[in-house]
Chain A
Amino acid sequence: MVEQIIFLIISAFTLTMAVIVVTKRNLFHAALALMATFLGVAGLYVTLDAGFLAAAQLLVYIGAISILVIFAIMMTRRLMQTTEPAFNAQAAFALVTAVVSFGILFWVFYLFREFWPLLPDTAVPLAAKPELPPEMIQNSIIVMGRAFVDPAGYVLPFEIASVLLLAALVGAIIVAWPKAEDKA
């Protein structure tokens, strides 16, 4: 019961902030609301006993991505009191993309509704949160770490993601590398 109320409060907060992100005309305030949305999502992770994921959400989304977004706004717009139109030429396209991604996500969650990733042996419907043993929650990072490097687990997606990130890093360095004529 308490969990339900907390879930509802956090969800309401997250959704309100998400609406503010798209309705605020001041880009800087929109970015702040985006941060609050990320914070709400982190709160949802906490209610799901996924503490590591919540901390990772804080570290990556608020500590890095939001900072990058704010930096982009600071670098490209005039200081203060910038207001942007709510719609641009890509509005229709964005609507289609949003609906399609929502559909795909819904479909994926529907497919996996009887699958609880940390408990591979048991098929528990997601509707009822399974009673996890406390050791399981306490050791969840160990289980997750093992699963990442386990051939029977997620080693392939993990390595593909690593290679992708490495390629992006190298690409960023090459883009930022001073050109030969600049050096001379």
Chain B
Amino acid sequence: MSFNFIEFLKSLVSLTVSDYLRELWGDQLWVNLVLDILGVVIISTFCLLIVIFLIWLERKVIARIQRRIGPNRVGGRYGLLQTVADVIKLLIKEDITPTGADRVAYLLAPFLTVMAALLVWAVMPFAPGVIGVDLNIGVFYFLAISSVSVVSLLLAGWGSNNKYALLGAFRSVAQLVSYEVPMILALLVPILLARSMSTVSIVEAQTIPYLLVAPLAALIFFISSLAETGRTPFDLLEAESEIVAGFHVEYGGMKFGMFFLAEFVSTLFMSGFFATVFLGGYRFFGLETLVIGDGWAIGNLLGLVIFFVKMFAVYFVYIWIRGTLPRVRVDQILNYNWKFLVPVSLVLVMVTALLDKFLPETANNFARAGAHLTANVLIALVTIEILRAYARRQRRLLSGESGPGEAAVDEHAHHDTAVHEPAAAH
């Protein structure tokens, strides 16, 4: 087969260029190796470069939310080149390692963070047939890799030999390890529904997006992904007003830049993953399978566009939340996770599994989705009712049985001190 420029362009546009080149050069070991390496380079370069845009987007959107203008000096009226200037600044800064730092841990941490943030993209289905590797354990692979990122935060916090950094690391471990649990449980629901852990199979199984089938699982996943990426309201790991900058307080220049970059890359990944698992990924009413002319699969490109629109829609919600919500306290994040998210997601997984088992095999997709949706709404209503009863009891405890009274409040206050400081009780 000889090289045909038009065919090459066509395969480029329909995102099947690797198939075209494989046909051209033959299906040999070195061809596959070169194509794989090219794929890795393209995906990681995309992730690294899109961060420049993401940072600008985040600053601009948050500025608009807070009635400011945001970057508007470098690069035209919209400040489009502001982040480029920032990146250049970070790159040419002096590379400092503190004297008291544990060099191995200090230098390893930024690399591990970026590695973990980039490795997960291997299982992200961008468009039909456009995925790093369609692992049969795709979702589990993502969970495994992201659990490694906890290690890098711990390394950074410990290696810096700084008390704020260590405090940030302790917080990050408590938070990330805890919120992994509801995240895994919430992801079990789409896995159950799609009967597969492969991200492609999950997308293919979503005739109806799982956001409509399992909205509760989507909500739990979204909340825990906020915590996993350390974004507001769960940004305790780097709460500026409490512990300066948390685990990366001793990092400067591009080493700090790498932490920053990893945070944005993993947030974008979480948006893409949410779009994949709950919004149907690249699917949009069969538009992604569109073929025009004599078998030119233009649908692949449309699938890519659809995926990006969905991913950035979710990403916008992340920014929106960052611009809106205040930070929660340390005790609140752990209580919220262990006493609320984990029990709810456990119940949700059990109900989904049983319901899926007992629904008749003959039920069509819409009947199944309806049943699951009803179950989700019921669980949500019961949860809200339990929470309301709990809040009512707490209020009664605080105010006394017969309404607000000084004595009752006082008594409670004494009780509180006794719990926290037994030595100081009188």
Contacts and interface: CB of A to CB of B under 8 A. Distances in A.
Nearest to A137: B136
Contact of A32 (B105, B144, B422): B105
B144 A140 contact: no
Contacts of B150: 63, 67
Given A51-B137, A62-B147, A140-B136, 19 more contacts: A28-B102, A28-B158, A32-B108, A32-B155, A35-B151, A55-B141, A56-B144, A59-B140, A63-B180, A67-B150, A67-B173, A67-B177, A70-B158, A80-B100, A80-B102, A138-B136, A141-B136, A141-B137, A182-B419
Interface string B163-193: 0001000000100010010000000000000
Nearest to B180: A63
A58 B145 contact: yes
B97 to A, nearest CB: 14
A74 B418 CA distance: 30
A182 B421 CA distance: 9
Given A55-B144, A59-B144, A66 B102 contact: no
A70 B137 contact: no
A32 B107 CA distance: 13
Given A63-B144, A63-B150, A67-B177, A55 B137 contact: yes
A35 B140 CA distance: 19
B161 A51 contact: no
Interface of B: 100, 102, 104-105, 108, 135-137, 140-141, 143-145, 147-148, 150-151, 154-155, 158, 161, 166, 173, 177, 180, 197, 418-419, 422
A140 B135 CA distance: 12
Nearest to A66: B151
A184 interface: yes
Contacts of A55: 137, 140-141, 143-144
B148 A62 contact: yes
A63 B158 contact: no
22 contacts: A28-B102, A28-B105, A29-B104, A29-B105, A51-B137, A54-B144, A55-B137, A55-B140, A63-B151, A63-B180, A66-B151, A67-B151, A71-B173, A79-B166, A80-B100, A80-B102, A80-B161, A138-B136, A139-B136, A141-B136, A141-B197, A182-B422
Contacts of B102: 28, 80
Contacts of A79: 161, 166
Interface of A: 28-29, 32, 35, 51-52, 54-56, 58-59, 62-64, 66-67, 70-71, 74, 79-80, 137-141, 182-184
B31 to A, nearest CB: 16
A35 B108 CA distance: 13
Contacts of A139: 136
B168 to A, nearest CB: 13
Contacts of A56: 140, 144
A62 B155 CA distance: 13
Nearest to B139: A55
A139 B136 CA distance: 8
A184 B418 contact: yes
A46 to B, nearest CB: 11
A140 B140 CA distance: 14
Contacts of B166: 74, 79
Contacts of A138: 136
Given A67-B173, A70-B158, A80-B100, A58 B135 contact: no
A125 to B, nearest CB: 27
A59 B173 CA distance: 14
A47 to B, nearest CB: 15
A63 B178 CA distance: 12
Contacts of B161: 79-80
A68 to B, nearest CB: 9
Contact of A58 (B104, B136, B144, B177): B144
A12 to B, nearest CB: 20
A34 B402 CA distance: 60
Given A67-B173, A138-B136, A58 B158 contact: no
A32 B137 CA distance: 27
Given A71-B173, A184-B418, A59 B151 contact: no
Contacts of A67: 150-151, 154, 173, 177
Nearest to B102: A80
Contact of A183 (B158, B177, B419): B419
A63 B147 contact: yes
A70 B144 CA distance: 18
A148 B161 CA distance: 46
Contacts of B141: 51, 55
B115 to A, nearest CB: 12
Contacts of B100: 80
A59 B422 contact: no
B137 A58 contact: no
B137 to A, nearest CB: 5
A150 B338 CA distance: 32
A80 B99 CA distance: 12
B325 to A, nearest CB: 27
Contacts of A140: 136
Nearest to A2: B29
A74 B158 contact: yes
A32 B180 CA distance: 22
Contacts of A54: 144
Q: Which 6 pairs from chain A and chain B are nearest by CB? A: A63-B147, A58-B144, A55-B144, A59-B144, A55-B140, A59-B147
